[in-house]
A and B are shown apart, each in its own frame.
Chain A
Amino acid sequence: MVGICSYGAYVPLYRLTREEIGKLMGTKGAGERSVAGADEDALTMAIDAILDCTTGIDRESIDGLLAASCSSPFAEKQMAAVAASALDFGEDILTADIAASLRGGMTALRMAADIVKAGSASKMMVSASDMRLGWPTSPQEANIGDGAAALLVGDSDVIATIEGCYTESSDFTDLWRPATDKFVHSWSDRFTLAEGYQPMMRKAVSNAVKKFGVTPADITKFVYNAPDARAHSGIAGALKFDAKTQVQDPLFNQMGNTGSAFPLMLLVAALEQAKAGDTLLVAGYGDGVDVMLLKVTDQIEKVRNRHGVLGYLQSKRMLPSYLKYLRLRHLFHVEPARFTPVVPGLAQLWRERDSLFKLHASKCNQCGWIDFPIRRVCPKCLSKDDYTQVKLLDQKVTVYSFSADTVAVLPEVTDPPLGRAIIDFEGGARLEIEMTDYGNIEDMKVGQPMEMTFRKLERQGDVAAYGWKCKPVR
């Protein structure tokens, strides 16, 4: 039976209250939104969500990755291939980006289900992630949140079976972003809600329920996205669901609208609270509607050790000001560095990808010494070119020492001071690496547990460089 085998999510550490956002223009707002850190984007958040989803799962057993996003850092280059490489999926896999639609996450989930159903793969990973930009001071900016979800779709050991899929497509325009612009555009919601979201959701969900042969009374939780909280609250009643008991909280006041990741993140939140036998109806709106019916199995108890959406929402650090948000997103100009930065060369990045990208160390075949990066001559027994590559990624990490650097040369240390740490992997490797999301350096302790996170390396130059950093366990 095809279904979801595991779930994971990622919500960045930082939150900003809408009250703080409103101060500049004298507007009001309730709740808070999630904000990606200076070194995060749709790609890095997708990877963090997949890491959460694959806790205890061999990533080499996965046959493909569909990565959905409206805010890929690349207009030409695939996020999924980068993520699959950093996460060591293996090379004989199918990767694709599902771009440009707010229901992209749901569409990717449906495509993965169809691929598995067709027998082309037995395990497909789906990620959806977004770090969309609203125009500064616009309602969209306050409404948006940053985050990611990941779902593993497979044909065995499923935690929720996929009972049915239904899609309606539409070219209705409410939110859009021209290829040449970085901010999301919108039309008056007097029009877009009345003529777009509300009638389309009602129609597609009604048709889906009819097709699946169920009634609202059969559904434990109705999970769906909406442009904003007000639009969300109107749908449940209109479709005869009990808003109090049958609707997944859309988390507008804790997280915000996370774009293509939004319906999947709400699904993950619902799965976190679901029990065997529950029936979930999921709908994702954007350029039409994707609807899916899921039935939770007793296997769900085996995947409880995830951060998930709700777990990550509990771990947070408030941004001090709206200005800090603008700085993190590079929305004003700062003085360029006077010092020549080190610019990564693609040849070197490629050559050293097993260490830098996949976090492989070398283990000496003669004496067992582990070293990072991969070292050809063993420092212990001096044997040459006689080693096996070992993966550091899923090992436990503790911090040996650490630093917060106020004078780093990098021209784009967007969120100083720059953290650095020397870390120990339980398997025996020690390495020095950037440290992120550490909060106050005075609160760090020698020996505290850390975890690895894939981040953007802030470097000037044409090449977008990514790599692993460490951060305190959230």
Chain B
Amino acid sequence: MGDIKDKVAIIGMGCTQYGDLWDKGVSDMIIDSCYEAYEDAGVGPKDIEAVFVGNVSSGMWTGATVTEALQLDRIPATRVENNCATAAEALRVGAFAVASGMYDTVLCVGFEKLKDYGSGALEMPGGMHPITVVGSAPSSFSKSAIRYFEQYKIPYDKGKEILAKIAVKNHANGALAPKAQFRRPITMEQALNAPIIAWPLGLFDCCPVTDGASAAIITRADKAKSYTQDYVLIKGLGLSVGRIDPFKGKFRPDVDITFWDETWVAAQQAYEQTGIKDPRKEIGSAEVHDCFTITELIIYESLGFCPRGKGPEEVEAESFTLKGDLPINTDGGLKCFGHPVGASGLRMIYELYNQQLGRAGERQVANPKLGLAHSQGGTPGMFQASVTIIGPRD
């Protein structure tokens, strides 16, 4: 396997406000996020040699949606998709395009417009299996919560409390993030007493469905300084795609839904590329795919931040709050930003980028070291898991 470490620089990033963007169309979101990235990088439309576009929700949007919005004139534009890891995938493919020497400067943008179509909770829309696709994302992940509680003998009330603490932590962080959809802290009582969405998951255990776009401009590491002094380097890019599709009723008896295997594999790839031996010590802040609180709990273990079954202890010890030794979801995560599926991965990297450059305001962590972004598409049983690690320039 080849090596991507320190070959590609992120020189500018942009992110729209996330939320119910009734007054913004897809073009508006693309323009807002990409022009923020242009200005940040000190580049203009004419510097962009190729575009990689992440979008999931429909076949309506293509690479041309971005060239049209930005009026980029007859350059290569490619839409990529990897479920909830789609935006991370746009960056990954873009990074390979730059590292190959094919292009110097590339725009990677992810966007999703879910709210125009009446979506409430990531119900499973058309295009999947007509018979075996039933139910919503919360329902898929609730089964992992039930198994996790069973496996580690966690009484129901205690389990609910651990999950609630994760939601409370993310809401506390999100309150400090100006672009988040939800900017208010919540209490344990609110989290515990919220209506049940898919038992045992309640309202605050679930991320919302949201509109948003995020963008990155990347270039060859040796060319970055010609644009800006403020940039970060890509250190590792892991991706692991499972081979079972629970959406088709497929489920193997050897699959354990209390651990995210694909996330573990993607993380190991990225750690090896970066040269990380002890992720808990070497990562300074992480943005992880907290589509549900149970997902985040299991992610702690699947990224190797703590041993299996020890996630609840770390939650009790507040290890992953802004004051903890490894702050996780410093911007409030999917819980507060919502989850515009094709955009979220680049929103996470946007937060890491700002942490690396000391721009995170009240959320700034003291020593950002290396930043890790984790996206995970799919459903327990099969994921498309992506781990992106970025770090400071030389």
Contacts and interface: CB of A to CB of B under 8 A. Distances in A.
Interface in A404-437: 404-410, 417-418, 420-422, 424, 428-434
Secondary structure of the B side of the interface?
loop
B222 interface: no
Interface stretch (A238-246, A256-264, A341-349): A341-349
Contacts of A418: 134-135, 139
B138 interface: yes
A375 interface: yes
A418 B117 CA distance: 22
A371 B250 contact: yes
Given A420-B139, A432-B381, A401 B146 contact: yes
A90 interface: no
A417 B124 contact: no
Contacts of B136: 405, 407-409
Nearest to A425: B253
Given A340-B126, A420-B134, A371 B252 contact: yes
Contacts of A402: 143, 146
Nearest to A469: B134
B366 interface: no
B241 interface: no
B257 interface: yes
Contacts of A352: 131
B187 interface: no
Contact of A442 (B135, B139, B199, B253): B199
Contact of A465 (B126, B131, B198): B131
Interface residues of B, number: 44
Contacts of B128: 342
A405 B252 contact: no
Interface string B7-45: 000000000000000000000000000000000000000
Of listed A339, A343, A422, A429, residue having the most chain B CB within 10 A: A422
A421 B244 CA distance: 16
A373 B138 contact: no
Given A340-B125, A424-B253, A401 B130 contact: no
Interface string B121-150: 101111111111111101110111011001
A454 interface: no
A372 interface: yes
Contact of A409 (B124, B131, B150): B124
A272 B119 CA distance: 52
A237 B43 CA distance: 100
B126 to A, nearest CB: 5
A406 B136 CA distance: 8
A339 B146 contact: no
Interface in A443-457: 446, 457
Interface string B359-394: 000000000000000000000010000000000000
Of listed A342, A348, A424, A428, residue having the most chain B CB within 10 A: A342
Interface of A: 338-345, 348-349, 352, 355-356, 371-373, 375, 379, 400-410, 417-418, 420-422, 424, 428-434, 441-442, 446, 457, 459, 465, 467
Given A418-B134, A465-B131, 19 more contacts: A339-B119, A339-B120, A352-B131, A375-B250, A379-B244, A379-B252, A401-B146, A402-B146, A403-B135, A403-B198, A405-B198, A406-B196, A406-B197, A407-B139, A409-B123, A429-B253, A431-B249, A433-B249, A457-B134
Interface of B: 117-121, 123-136, 138-140, 142-144, 146-147, 150, 196-199, 243-244, 246, 248-253, 255, 257, 381
26 contacts: A339-B125, A342-B127, A342-B128, A344-B131, A348-B129, A348-B130, A371-B252, A372-B249, A400-B147, A401-B147, A402-B146, A404-B142, A404-B199, A405-B135, A405-B136, A405-B198, A406-B138, A406-B196, A408-B134, A418-B135, A421-B143, A422-B257, A432-B249, A442-B199, A465-B130, A465-B131
